[in-house]
Structure 1
Amino acid sequence: RTMGYMPTEMELIELSQQICGGRVDFEDFVELMGPKMLAETADMIGVKELRDAFREFDSDGDGQISLGELKEAMKKLMGEQLNHREMDEILRDIDLNGDGQVDFEEFVRMMSR
C-alpha cells in the first residue's frame, strides 16, 4: 500500500498462499507484485498514452527501442547529447532482460519510476 497499490482482500489471500515459509525477500516481492504494479501504472497513466509514447521512441516500429533510438529520444527530451557511458548506464538500468533493447514492459516500468 505504501507504493500506491491497493490490493483487494482476495489478492492478499492469493499472495499469502504463494509465500513459502511466511517470509518474502525483495526478489520474491518484486516477482509477486511486479505484474500488479505494472498493470496499475498502465491504468493510471493510460495504456494508450504509454503505447503512443513507446511508438514515438521506437522510430523503426520493430517493437523494441534500440540504443540508437533511446539516444535520439533522450536528446529530444533533454535537449542535449548524452555520452556513450551515460547511455549504457541508462540502458543497463532499463533493460531488465539484458537483450540490449527496451521492450514495452520495460518501458512501462521505466515510466512508473
Structure 2
Amino acid sequence: MAGDAVYGDVHLYLAESAGNGRRDWLHALDVIEGLQPRAVVSGHKRDGDEDSPDDVARTRRYIEDFTAAAEKADGFGDLYEAMVGLYPQRVNRGVLWNSAKAVMA
C-alpha cells in the first residue's frame, strides 16, 4: 500500500510541496522502488486501474516535470497549462490548479 506517496492517472496534490517537499517525496519513491514490489496500491487512481508498480516511476516523472515546469513558469497559469499539456488525460485538474497556485505564490 503506497498511500499518498504514489498516484495513478490522477494529477498529484503538490500544493504543500514547497521547500524540500518534492525532494522528500522523490526519496520516498526511492524507498518504495527499493522494495521491488510486484504490486503497488496507489492512494489516488482511476477506478479499475491496475495496482501497478509502474505507477511509482510515473509519479516520479510527474514530480520532476512539475518541478521543471515551475522553474520555467511566469505564473501559476503557465505552470497549470504546462502540466495539462504534458498530462492531458490525467483526471482531477482542480488539484493541479490549486497546486500550481500554491507553488507559484
TM-score (norm: length of structure 1): 0.27
More strand by share: 2
Q: Which has the higher contact order (CA 8 A, sep 6+)?
A: 2
Q: Which has the higher helix share?
A: 1
TM-score computed with the length of structure 2 as normaliser:
0.28
Greater C-alpha radius of gyration: 1
